[in-house]
Chain A
Amino acid sequence: MTASFQPGRVYAIFGDNGAGKSTLLRVICGLASATAGTVRIFGSRERSEFTARLGYMGHAPLLYDEMTGMENLRYFAGLYGIDDGARCEQAIAAVGLDPALPRRVGDYSQGMRQRLSLARAAIHDPEILLLDEPFSNLDPGSARAMGRLVADMRDRGKTILVVTHQAAHLDGIADESLWMSAGRVAAWEQGIAAADRATASAVLS
C-alpha cells in the first residue's frame, strides 16, 4: 500500500482481523520490515534520524510489571536521553495517574496500564504517535478519557495513527479514517466514516 499522513491530524485505522493494521504500525516504526517499498518519515528513510520523534504504543503494555509507574517511566525516558524526574511525573499526571503510586504495574488495572503505556509512548514528546488498540478492554469512562488524551495530543500538533476495532471511541476525534482489508487500503474517508465501509470491495487507486 501507499499512503501519506499529515501532521496535526488523527487517523483512525479500521479493518478486519489479519488485515495488516498492526503490521502497518510496526513497519512504520521499524519493528517489522516491509517486503518491498520504503517508509519515509519527515522525508527521510534513515531510522536513526527519526526514532526520537516517534512514539509507539503496542497491543501489549510494553512495561515492566515489577516496577512502579514512575520507575518505568524514568527508565524509558532514559532511553531517550531524558533524565528529568519532574517531566516523568507530569507525564504520568497528564494521563490521570498518580506519580507517587507505589503499586507495581503488574497490579494495575487494565485502564491504568493502558494509560501508563500511552504516557510511556509519549514521554519524549514525539511528533508522531502510533497507537495499537489503545481502547482494548477499557470501560467506557476510561475509553472516553483515553480519547480526550488523543485529541489533546492532536491539538498540540502531533500526527496520530490509531488502530482500533471500536470506531465509536474515536467519533469526533478522528480527522480521517482508513479501512484496511488483506493488506490493502479499501477506503479512506473523513471522520470515522470508513468504519461503515465494512463490506467495501472497492479498491480506490
Chain B
Amino acid sequence: MSSLAAVTVSNLRKDVRLEWRSKDAVNAMLFFALLVVVIFSFAFDPTAEESRQIVGGLVWVAFLFAAIVALNQAWMRELRNQVLDAYRVSPAPANALFMGKALGNFLFISVVEALLMPLFVVFYNLRPVGPAWQLVPVFLLGTWALVVVGTFFAAISLRTRSREVMLPLILFPISIPALLGMVEATTMVLTGTDTPRFWITLLLVYDVIFTTVCLLLFETVLHAE
C-alpha cells in the first residue's frame, strides 16, 4: 500500500521543498557557524603551522553547533499544527518519516559544510598535507553520525520541557566517540601524520550500529504518549 521507499521519498521531497521556500534552517546554520569560526579566530590566534593542529577540532565544533541549530527545528513544522498526529493515524511506516527527515537534515547540513569549508581554508590558510580526498568519507560518515542520532533525539526531546536545551544535552555525550573520530581523522589528514583508517572504520561502525538502533526504536518513540 504505502511502501517504505515511496513514503521516505515523499517525506524527503516535502522537507526539501519546505526548506527551500523558507531557507530558515540553512540561513541560521550558515550564519551561526560563521560566527563560531570568527570567534574562534579571536580565541585562538594560530600560525599556519599550529592551525593545522587545531583546525580539525574547530571545524567540527562549528559544524556541531550548526547541526544543533538545524536539529532543534527539525520537527518544528510537524509539531506546529500537530501534523504528527495525522502521520501516526495513517498506515505510513514510521521509519519512512524518520529516514525522510534524517536524509533531509543530512542534505541541509552537508550544504552548509560545503559552503563553510572554503571559509575555513581561507581564514586559517589551510593546505592539507595528507591526501585531501580522505576528508570526503570523514565528512560524510561524521555528518551522518550526528544527523541520524540527532534527528532521533530531536524526536525524543519533543516531549520535554526546555526542548532546545535537552537536545544537545542528550546528544553530545553519546556522540563523543563519533566527534573524536571526526576530529582526529580530520587533523590526521590535514597534518599528514598518519592514516585515519581506524577513525574512518570507527565512524562506519558507529553509523551502522546507531542507524540500526534508530530504525528499530523510532516507531516506539513516535507513538510514545
Residues of A within 8 A of B (CB): 29-33, 48, 51-52, 54-56, 58-67, 71, 75-76, 78-81, 120
Contacts and interface: CB of A to CB of B under 8 A. Distances in A.
B91 A62 contact: no
A71 B223 CA distance: 26
Contacts, number: 82
Interface of B: 1-3, 6-7, 10, 14, 17-18, 21-22, 77, 80-83, 85-92, 223, 225
A48 B93 CA distance: 10
Given A78-B2, A78-B7, A66 B91 contact: no
A62 B2 contact: no
B91 A31 contact: no
A59 B77 CA distance: 17
A32 B21 CA distance: 34
A63 to B, nearest CB: 6
A44 to B, nearest CB: 14
A79 B21 contact: no
A163 B225 CA distance: 21
Specify the main secondary structure of chain A where it touches its partner: loop
Nearest to A63: B81
Specify the main secondary structure of chain B where it touches its partner: helix
Contacts of B82: 58-62
B90 A76 contact: yes
Nearest to B77: A64
Given A52-B91, A81-B2, A76 B22 contact: no
B80 A75 contact: no
A120 B10 contact: no
Nearest to A120: B86
A30 B91 contact: no
Q: Which 5 pairs from chain A and chain B are nearest by CB? A: A60-B82, A79-B92, A81-B2, A79-B90, A62-B86
A33 B88 CA distance: 13
Contacts of A63: 81, 83
A58 B80 CA distance: 13
B197 to A, nearest CB: 42
Contacts of A58: 82, 85-86
A78 B100 CA distance: 14
7 contacts: A52-B1, A56-B86, A58-B82, A60-B81, A62-B81, A67-B14, A79-B91
